[in-house]
Chains A and B, each alone.
Chain A
Amino acid sequence: MNIQEYQGVYVFVQQVDGKVAGVSHELLGKGKELAQKMGTQVTAVLLGSGVAGLAGDLASYGADRIVLVDNPDLKLYSTRPYAYAMCSVIEKYKPAVVLYGATAIGRDLAPRVAARIRTGLTADCTKLDVADDGTKNLQMTRPAFGGNIMATIICPDYRPQMATVRPGVMQKIKPVAGAKAPVEKLDVVIPESEKDVQILDVVRKESHKMDIQDAKVLVSGGRGMGKPENFKLLEGLAKALGGTVSSSRAAVDAGWVEKDLQVGQTGKTVRPNLYLACGISGAIQHLAGMEESDVILAINKDEGAPIFEVADYGVVGDALKIVPILTEKVKAAIAARNK
């Protein structure tokens, strides 16, 4: 393989129902930064049916160029048709780097593509950089052993270098209004043999809550909340602060709250302006998902709890008693400010 033939940073754009996933915007931002270090450009790879209208959105988030595969077989995500289209793009354009969001789609698609192309794939990265040793290799860093260690991985002899990247970790750029990027259409015919899984139904999960990755304020509860009813206290405080409730794995495993509220290595990574941990001891796998928050406050009865090692300010005490008082004080402070 002549690796010099492979040029450019490509981002797989995940769109569902014509809406671009947040992580794809994040990767365009990161991809642009990596491309500058490599002296190349960032290309958005947009797959779907009737999605050409998203080009402007992708340009505004940093795409220098867009490769579009518009095909009715790509209307809904399905592993093999998407993998076939992605492999067609890679074979034609020979990118140096391809990035995917580490989502339920990206983590299914990217492995299949990597196996077919015969190249490396690094899962669920939290840091990407370019080697300054002249190789310009992509350095991909990811947690392993439940977040206990970090490993930096390269793919020196195969191209493209591919990674899935954890949502919520990279920063998107501030969208540039009116930005434009050239769109290149690639016609791909998906062979019948690739259409071997039938989609019988699409069932949306009922959820009226804010996604915890979008929240500016998270009031998060753990085992120390004692029982599911006590999460109501957290909801009251979260509402007063204009945020939402999240949780540790312990509260999810106990069946107190839904899995989509879980912060941590096996849950979501969050980076809110304020993370208030209530009755959360702070297992390494939890800290891995929230330690980049701007301000971390913690309430825990155990002064030896590891959560206090990452908290900016910690209070040793009973969250069940402190939270209701704090909620009233927050409401009063906001009311006073708005007068």
Chain B
Amino acid sequence: MNIVVCIKQVPDTNEVKIDPKTGRLIREGVPSIINPDDKAGLEAALRLKDSQGAHVTAVSMGPPQADTALREALAMGADEAVLITDRAFGGADTWATAHTLAAALKTIPYDLIITGRQAIDGDTAQVGPQIAENLHIPNISYAEELKVEGEYVTVKRQFEDRYHILRAKMPCLITALSELNEPRYMTPQGIFDAYREKQVKTLTRKDLDVKDGDIGLKGSPTRVIQTFTKSPKAAGTLVNNLTSEEAAEYLLDKMKEKFII
């Protein structure tokens, strides 16, 4: 079985801070990580490899630095890694990203494609289903459990108030939730192999069967016209040095004032 896992290198958004003077994002010193949902997807693939045998390929679209994320995937146990990188792909929105990734996936054998549900920098959750649409294969989003039996994959698919147990014939695309599992750590031998023994293959614009009008900024239907940080709300009142009794009385008064009780 061939499993392809799409991973994205993202800034750890928990570490992103705003410069209070300029209102801009401070990106310096923010660590780059494999997006958590994607890492859970990679772990799911590696578990299938451990339990029933599979060839796992990690694929990432991004700048040349995304090589680090792919080496980490190799060190965790992926068999192959592919970096899709070209200036021509820059500025892509989800439509153009999915279109480009799908074109790359057409050059790689797959039975099962796993993506994370969403990336923590963009939070769109759109690229997974859109890749599936480009490849004309089924997708099952929000996977909390998955198992493979023969040619079929069975998934516990999460909704707000229920689950559906879904079954599809492969090839199929699954989007993984971080709840799926606890990803393994890289091993020292794995890290050694990832940098000394294994290669990250690169695909560029000329390797893909795509039209210029369908990739990068030019191929993207959406345009960002403005970015801003939220203006802080006017500060309220803060009281200090009250006893617990006084503090409770203070809060009760405010609830009465605001007609909560």
Q: Footprint of B on A, CB under 8 Å?
A: 16, 76-77, 79-80, 83, 103-105, 107-108, 110-112, 114-116, 118-124, 139, 143-146, 148-158, 196-205, 207, 217, 241, 259-260, 265-266, 273-274, 276, 283-285, 291, 294-297, 299, 303, 308-318, 321-322, 325-326, 329-330, 333-334, 337
Contacts and interface: CB of A to CB of B under 8 A. Distances in A.
Interface stretch (B47-55, B67-75, B105-113, B243-251): B243-251
B169 interface: yes
Given A104-B141, A313-B236, 12 more contacts: A79-B139, A112-B133, A120-B93, A146-B16, A148-B229, A152-B224, A154-B223, A155-B223, A157-B221, A205-B161, A312-B237, A333-B256
A310 B236 CA distance: 7
Interface string B205-245: 00000000000000011111111111011011111111011
Contact of A124 (B124, B140, B258): B124
A199 B247 CA distance: 54
A207 B13 contact: no
Nearest to A268: B160
B60 interface: no
A207 B222 CA distance: 39
B123 interface: yes
Which range contains the number of B residues in contact with the other chain?
35 or more
Given A296-B236, A308-B238, A202 B247 contact: no
B258 A274 contact: yes
Contacts of A116: 133
Contacts of A105: 159
Contact of B252 (A299, A308, A326): A326
B167 interface: yes
Count chain B CB atoms within 10 A of each CB in A115, A119, A310 and give the residue with the most: A115
A112 B261 contact: no
A192 to B, nearest CB: 13
B161 A207 contact: yes
Contact of A79 (B127, B129, B224): B129
B187 interface: no
Contacts of B154: 200
Classify the interface of chain A: helix, strand, loop or mixed: mixed
Interface of B: 11, 13-14, 16-18, 25, 93-95, 98-99, 120-130, 132-134, 138-142, 154, 158-169, 172, 179, 220-230, 232-233, 235-242, 244-245, 247-252, 254-256, 258, 260-261
Contact of A146 (B14, B168, B224): B14
Nearest to B117: A107
A90 B252 CA distance: 53
A330 to B, nearest CB: 6
A318 B248 CA distance: 11
A103 B160 contact: yes
A217 B94 CA distance: 37
Contacts of B251: 276, 297, 299, 313, 315, 322, 326
Nearest to A198: B167
B167 A115 contact: no
B198 to A, nearest CB: 32
Contacts of A297: 251, 254-255
A312 B255 CA distance: 11
B121, B125, B241 — which one has the most chain A CB atoms within 10 A of its CB? B125
8 contacts: A79-B129, A115-B98, A123-B123, A124-B123, A150-B230, A152-B228, A285-B14, A309-B233
B32 to A, nearest CB: 13
A114 B164 contact: no
A186 to B, nearest CB: 22
A105 B141 CA distance: 9
A197 B167 contact: yes
Contact of B121 (A145, A158, A266, A316): A145
Nearest to B162: A204
Contacts of B233: 291, 309-310
A329 B238 CA distance: 21
Contacts of A241: 255, 260-261
B69 to A, nearest CB: 18
Nearest to A259: B179
B138 A80 contact: yes
B239 A314 contact: yes
B221 A217 contact: no
Q: Report, nearest first, the 9 A-B pairs whose CB atoms are least far apart.
A: A146-B13, A120-B221, A115-B133, A123-B124, A120-B222, A111-B126, A325-B248, A115-B130, A326-B248
